[in-house]
A and B are shown apart, each in its own frame.
Chain A
Amino acid sequence: MNVAPIDWVILGTLFLGLLVLAIWINSQCKSVADYLVSGRKVRLWLGIGAGIAGEVGLVSIAAMCEQGYMRGFGFVLIGLIAMCITVPVFGIFGIGIERFRATKAMSVPQYVEMRYSRRLRLLTGMFNSLAGVLQMCIFPIVGASFLRVLMAAPEYASIAGQEIPTEWLIMGVLLGCAVLFTYFGGYITLTVTNFVQMIVIMVAVYWVLSYIVADLGLQNLWTTLEQERGNAAFYPFADGDSSYGWQWFAWMMAMTILLQFSYGPYLQKYASLDKPKTVSRSYLISTLFGNGRTYVIIGLGVCALVGLGTSPPQGLATSDQQWMAMATPYYLSQVTPPIVLGLLLAGLLFADISTTDQYLLSWSTSIVNDCVCPLLSRPLEPKTHIMAVRLTIVVLCILFFIVGVFYEPTLPIWEFMWLLANIIGGTGIAVLFGMYWKRASTVGAYGAVLVSLVLPLLDLALRWFYVAREWDDYPLKPQETGLYTYVLATITLIVLSLSSRQPTGYWDLGEEVRKMNAREASNQ
């Protein structure tokens, strides 16, 4: 193990400081709304700061480093084109996201019940939670693998005479931290601790990158990247397997748009902001100025490519797929000096805690509010309600641990996560049409949700089947499955809605947005 005592001191001090802060904030939480959406009192800068930590998780850092190693800066142009589309849509006009905040719903399925029906709320609540939980299942094991390689820890640790994979132990610690922090105060704790964690993560990532770039030399870094990956390292639509391609871009764009009004963790963040205008403003500012952090993290993967080359070092027994994921932490473990490593470990641990907590709380809220509460004859007492969410969090963490033990990667991390997000995106189609189209009917919404569920799950199951049987390559790329699913789900919703003669539960949310913005502006 290459972690020096000073690194453990840095890690321990920062962790204890954050824990004390979480315990103090817990005393400020008084109601279910405080616990689940910070009492809807989060203003612009705090929302942006907490949002950065919530988005930069250890799993996404691992995934971005993997992409940087595989494809250089190919993602940068995709991000730029995506920004040109999403900034006007969400940042300036606030399409969908301002209207969602105006509903005062705490979750997407709650809006689905308001607009369509309670049964569809149950269905979307269950499907979205299932997809979200399946997606989250790989967070702890991917994070633990990344940290084990970074710390250069042995593959097995001996405990009471038993040889136990070190990744399982690290996974247990990560999940234990997540339970600890969500237990102390819910979303309000999360908002404040995420804000503090954001500072540590940003300092750590920037410091490490500056150190490595100074070590490698900027000219060497860029020239080697040009030689190793060619045009595909900069232009994502170049010919060849190492580029992303237009189809991948179209899929990612469709999903980015639909997830803005269907992905639980995003929507819970929007629900916590003080007014609809703050939702679009925070999107605008964080998208325009926050992309740099993604490029810096991708840059770590590029540094690994330049420092190690495209093949694993001799004597390291690993498959190609595993090497892509472990190349960056392996490289960082070789070059990061003490103190910087301590801060990096703290930053990565905080990145994991902040994202896992936000997602855990979001999906647990969805399970309790959208799958359990609608079935009860009378509402839960506030204390019981919060206890039910906490209990769900503990059960989910146990599930994640069990899945992590058996997890075998069949896809790059990003593509696995995007494919499962596809299921949730189907609800986004129902929500988007529900907010803007009077004729969108319950039967149409059912159709869109079901199509978006069945096709991606079938795709994932077939992939595992192909791997298990050691057949040839699976014929469909994830982006093809994803894109066709959305097209088919949208057509299904439109056709079924047009053929339905039943009245719908549409109401004008545009008017609600204007009233709420005016009321909050006059209160300040």
Chain B
Amino acid sequence: MIQFSSEIGFWSPFIYWFVLINAIFCILFTVVVIIGGVFDLRYLFRAIQEEAIDESDDGRVEQPTRET
């Protein structure tokens, strides 16, 4: 068990446990992201193959708004 400085008080143990719990959660979260991401990758490639190409979808605005 970690011993904390009594001079610093509340914040030292709070930050210790907060960082530790977050670091562990982040590992579990990364595993979930990897599994979900693999399924989404399959969807992305399938969707791009099936999608019709729209050549006008290139960042232009067809009817610019007026100057105000």
Contacts and interface: CB of A to CB of B under 8 A. Distances in A.
A109 to B, nearest CB: 9
B18 to A, nearest CB: 6
Contacts, number: 181
Given A36-B58, A48-B37, 9 more contacts: A33-B54, A39-B44, A41-B48, A76-B18, A117-B64, A118-B64, A218-B2, A291-B22, A503-B68
A45 B39 contact: yes
- In the complex, which of the residues A42, A48, A115, A234 has the most CB atoms of chain B within 10 Å of its own CB atom? A234
Contact of B58 (A30, A32, A502): A32
Contacts of A47: 40
A33 B23 contact: no
A80 B54 contact: no
A504 B68 CA distance: 7
A117 B57 contact: no
B40 A45 contact: yes
Interface stretch (A58-66, A176-184, A219-227, A457-465): A219-227
Contacts of A28: 45, 48-49
Interface in B8-60: 8, 11-12, 14-16, 18-19, 22-30, 32-37, 39-41, 43-45, 47-49, 51, 53-60
Given A295-B19, A505-B68, A289 B29 contact: yes
A503 B67 CA distance: 9
B44 A379 contact: no
Contacts of B19: 73, 76, 292, 295, 299
B57 A31 contact: yes
Nearest to B56: A379
B65 A30 contact: no
B43 A226 contact: no
A231 B53 CA distance: 58
B12 to A, nearest CB: 5
Interface residues of A, number: 81
B49 to A, nearest CB: 8
A164 B48 CA distance: 46
A130 interface: no
Nearest to B57: A33
Contacts of B22: 291-292, 295
B17 to A, nearest CB: 11
Contacts of A49: 33-34, 36-37
B20 to A, nearest CB: 9
A515 to B, nearest CB: 18
Main secondary structure of the interface of B (DSSP, over half): helix
B51 A46 contact: no
A289 B48 contact: no
Contacts of A385: 58
Contact of B47 (A41, A118, A235, A443): A41
Nearest to B29: A289
A34 B59 contact: no
Contacts of B4: 222, 226
Contact of A116 (B39, B47, B60, B65): B65
Given A380-B58, A505-B65, A234 B15 contact: yes
Contact of A296 (B26, B32, B58): B26
B44 A292 contact: no
A242 to B, nearest CB: 14
A365 B26 CA distance: 32
- In the complex, which of the residues B2, B5, B33 has the most CB atoms of chain A within 10 Å of its own CB atom? B33
A296 B11 contact: no
Chain B interface extent, by class:
35 or more
A290 B29 CA distance: 7
Contacts of A234: 8, 11-12, 14-15
A509 to B, nearest CB: 14
B62 to A, nearest CB: 10
A110 interface: yes
B45 to A, nearest CB: 6
B38 to A, nearest CB: 8
Given A32-B58, A34-B48, A199-B34, A292 B39 contact: no
Contacts of A30: 48, 53
B23 A292 contact: yes
Given A42-B40, A73-B15, A117-B66, A292 B25 contact: yes
Contact of B11 (A77, A188, A374): A77
A222 B30 contact: no
Contacts of B15: 73, 76-77, 234
- In the complex, which of the residues B5, B24, B53, B59 has the most CB atoms of chain A within 10 Å of its own CB atom? B59
Please list the 4 inter-chain residue pairs (A to B) with the smallest Cβ-Cβ separation, ordered nearest first. A292-B26, A45-B36, A46-B40, A502-B68
B48 A188 contact: yes
A463 B21 CA distance: 41
A39 B23 CA distance: 34
19 contacts: A33-B58, A46-B37, A46-B44, A47-B40, A50-B37, A73-B19, A76-B15, A80-B18, A110-B61, A113-B64, A117-B66, A222-B16, A226-B8, A233-B12, A289-B25, A289-B26, A289-B29, A379-B56, A385-B58
A256 to B, nearest CB: 18
B48 A43 contact: no
Given A30-B53, A46-B37, A231 B8 contact: yes
A363 interface: no
